[in-house]
Amino acid sequence: MTYEEIADTLFVEISVFTTLLTAFMLYNNIVLYKMSFKDKLSIMLVSATVLSAFDGIWHFVDGNLTYKILNYACAYIFAIAMMLGSSMFTRFSLNQFEIKMSSKKLHHALFIAPTVLTVILCLTTPWTGLVYSIDEHGEIQYGIIFDYCLVPIAFMYAGSPLLQSFYYLIRRRKSNAEKKFYGQCILITSLLIAGIEFIQLFVLDLDENYLETSLSTAIALTFFTTNVNTNRFVKNREKIVAVETDLNLAANIQTGSLPSAEGAFVNHPDVNIYATMDTAKEVGGVFYDFFEIDGTHIAFVIADISGKGVPAALFSMTVKTMIKDHASMKLSTAQIFTDVNRILCESNPEEMFATAWIGILDTKTRIMKFTNAGHNAPCFARKGENFEFLKNKHGLFLAGMDDTQYKESEIQLQNGDSLLIYTDGLTEAHNGSGELYGEERLLKKLNSADVRGGKAFLTQIKEDLQAFVGDAEQFDDITMLSISLR
């Protein structure tokens, strides 16, 4: 194999290597780090990938008059990629250093205009020869515009971030660790490019376009993007951990705000109560509450807020507090919801709403008065009878319309009666086939349960629900409140 054949093989291998390397980094950017093609770092990698591919082609067409058009195209792409990649590197650096242009006109003049001008000049150069021309041997010869305009602009783009790096590494090294880190990346990237090109030009005595640009650019960009993206990933992970910590704390606060059924009503041993809440996210938009209003009246509340997560959890705490405050005034259940609804409508910029149910039990007469604000109908059963839905008329959900007037219903309770109040996350839970758990299946389970009321009662319902949904993901918050008399 001759020297020329070895050189050509080397050219192909390096060109393929640099193209694949930058293409892999681009893929890594988009798939692993979820960055878009519009991201400046991605555009830099696209430019480097195109540059590497066409530099490899250029070696074989330069000096061959048969491929004159392809030779022009390679030179054209080389100039555009050089200008676009270097300008994006500067713009990306300005963003990292938080340096903003004083006006859009200045930004366009510094970054948009040179690239557009390069495109126009390169398109006209086959006729004008301003950027480059082809001599009688078929080789590209750079023109005055390329040497004294495009190259200086590209060097200006590349040198600007380097000057900024020196500033933050020398003058501001103690003030901003993030900018110092980025400055170090730029400095090392510049040293890599300079070092590789020095070896190519002065040690190996190789003077080919692809060796002067593609290989050094690919290696330097690999280092640069790896460090920048790793730093981004670490910072994002730290933010995620902080958010997860806050959410866990919020979940503990939310759970801690719910009343405990154990020893809840020591003065009313005939009232058996138990409740559970399973949220789809760390914090939920549902709540239950039960509390004594006075020595003979007990209030029971359950609500389901529109949406999920933190906003719903915050709104639920507001609704819970308002309902409890108004219940302490010994108002009727209808008046409680009427007043709370009006207040919520007055200040609700996010236009959230809540379905809710409230019942107040007179422990002497055992009459429970209740009001339903768009909530699921409770399941009620007399002693020895089957559960049925307590489908009294209900009003609009809370925070819907400020002039809504709610109505109150009542029911006479007796020993052995049982009441289950729940959110729609129970009946609307679905299995892997998309089939809903549904009201019919719920009634069937309630009527076949071994006990009615208390922890064991709700545990049986949850076990039946879990057997139905299987491995299907929980999409909604599920809350259940069981009330029974003994």
Q: Tell me which residue has tokens 């030779």.
A: 71
Give span(s): CATH 3.60.40.10, the chain.
Answer: 264-485
Q: What share of the chain is helix, strand, coil (3-state, %, to 5)?
A: 55, 15, 30
Coil vs helix vs strand at 449 = coil
Going by their DSSP bridges, the two strands 409-412 and 367-373 should be labelled as: antiparallel
pLDDT attached to residue 172: 65
CATH fold of the domain at 264-485: Phosphatase 2c; domain 1 (3.60.40)
Query: What value does the CA radius of gyration of the chain take, rounded to a whole number of Å?
Result: 36
Rounded Cα–Cα distance for residues 320 and 422 (Å):
16
Taking the mean position of all CA atoms in its chain, how far away is CA 41?
20
Contact in structure between 255 and 279 (CB atoms under 8 Å):
no
Contact in structure between 169 and 191 (CB atoms under 8 Å):
no
What CATH number is given for 3-245 in this structure?
1.20.1070.10
For 89-100, what is each residue's pLDDT tens digit? 888 888 877 777
Give span(s): CATH 1.20.1070.10, the chain.
Answer: 3-245
Q: Tell me which residue has tokens 């809840």.
A: 264
Sign of the Cα torsion 194, 197, 201, 207 reads negative
For 273-325, what is each residue's pLDDT tens digit? 999 988 877 677 889 999 999 989 999 999 999 877 778 888 888 899 999 99
The residue among 471 and 8 whose pLDDT is bigger is 471
For the record, the structure tokens of 183 come out as 């400055």
Question: What SS3 string covers 176-242?
Answer: CHHHHHHHHHHHHHHHHHHHHHHHHHHHCCCCCHHHHHHHHHHHHHHHHHHHHHHHHHHHHHHHHHH
* Mean of pLDDT over the chain: 82
Does the predicted TM-score (pTM) go above 0.85? no
What are the two backbone dihedrals, phi and then psi, of residue 385, each rounded to the nearest 5 degrees? Answer: -115, 170
**Residue 211 confidence (pLDDT) above 60:** no
pLDDT band at residue 6 under the 50/70/90 scheme:
low
Coil vs helix vs strand at 130 = coil
What percent of the chain stands above pLDDT 70? 90
